[in-house]
Chains A and B, each alone.
Chain A
Amino acid sequence: QQQVKQSPQSLIVQKGGISIINCAYENTAFDYFPWYQQFPGKGPALLIAIRPDVSEKKEGRFTISFNKSAKQFSLHIMDSQPGDSATYFCAANSGYSTLTFGKGTMLLVSP
C-alpha cells in the first residue's frame, strides 16, 4: 500500500515559534503534495500545496519545503499563533488517483 508517513503525532510550540511537521512518501509517481488544516468539529481545509518541480512554496506564514531525492516534504509555520492550533494532515497523489493521507499532527501553540 502506498504510504505517507507523518511526524510528529503531536507538537507543542510557543507563540512566535516555528512549527515544523514532516512527511515522507514512498511512491515516486506522486506529483501533488497538499497540506490540510483541521479545527475541532470542522472538516479538513486545504492549506497549501506543492508540486515537485519546485523545492519550496510560501504562502504567508506557511511554507512547504520539498526534497524530491529524499522523498520528503515538510510544513513550516513561522511566527506560530494560538489560532494555528489544529490538526495538520499531509497528503500526496498522482494524476487522477485518490489522495493518500498521513495520520495527522495535533499542533498546540501555547500563548
Chain B
Amino acid sequence: DVKVTQSSRYLVKRTGEKVFLECVQDMDHENMFWYRQDPGLGLRLIYFSYDVKMKEKGDIPEGYSVSREKKERFSLILESASTNQTSMYLCASRELGLAGEFFGPGTRLTVL
C-alpha cells in the first residue's frame, strides 16, 4: 500500500520560531510537493521538487524554504513563523511522467 507520511498531525508554534515539517514517501517517486490548504482558497502550491537537491517555487513560496537531501524525504521550513502561516500543510508525491499525486494526511499548524 503506497504511503505518504507527515511527521506531525498537529503542531503549535510561536511567532518567530523556526518550524520544520517533514514528509516521507515510500513509493520511490521522483516528484514531491508541498501545499497549504485554507478555507475558500483550496490547495495552493508552495514548493515542489523534481529530484534530489532540486527545488522549484510554486505559487506562494514567500516565507518558506524546502530541503530534499534524499529521494524519499521532502522538508518544508518556515524560517520565522508568522500567524498568517497558520494553515493545513499537505505533502504529495508523484511518479515522474505520471499525473496523479498521492497526498499525506496533512499537518495542521497553528502559529500563536
| Residues of chain A having any CB pair with chain B under 8 Å | 1, 6, 9, 32, 34, 36, 41-46, 49, 89, 93, 96, 98-99, 101-104
33-67 of chain B: CB within 8 A of chain A: 33, 40-43, 45, 48, 50, 58-59
* Least Cβ–Cβ distance between B58 and chain A, in angstroms: 7
Residue numbers in A under 8 Å from B90 (CB-CB): 43-44
Cβ of A98 and Cβ of B58 under 8 Å apart? yes
Main secondary structure of the interface of B (DSSP, over half): loop
B30 to chain A, nearest CB (A): 10
Contact of B42 among A32, A45, A46, A101 (CB under 8 A): A101
Contact check, B100 vs A45: say whether CB atoms are below 8 A apart.
Answer: no
A109 CA to B14 CA, complexed, in Å: 39
Indicate if B101 sits at the interface (CB-CB under 8 A): yes
Extra 4 A-B pairs, beta carbons < 8 Å, given A43-B90, A96-B50: A34-B99, A49-B99, A96-B96, A96-B97
B45 and A34 contact, CB distance less than 8 A: no
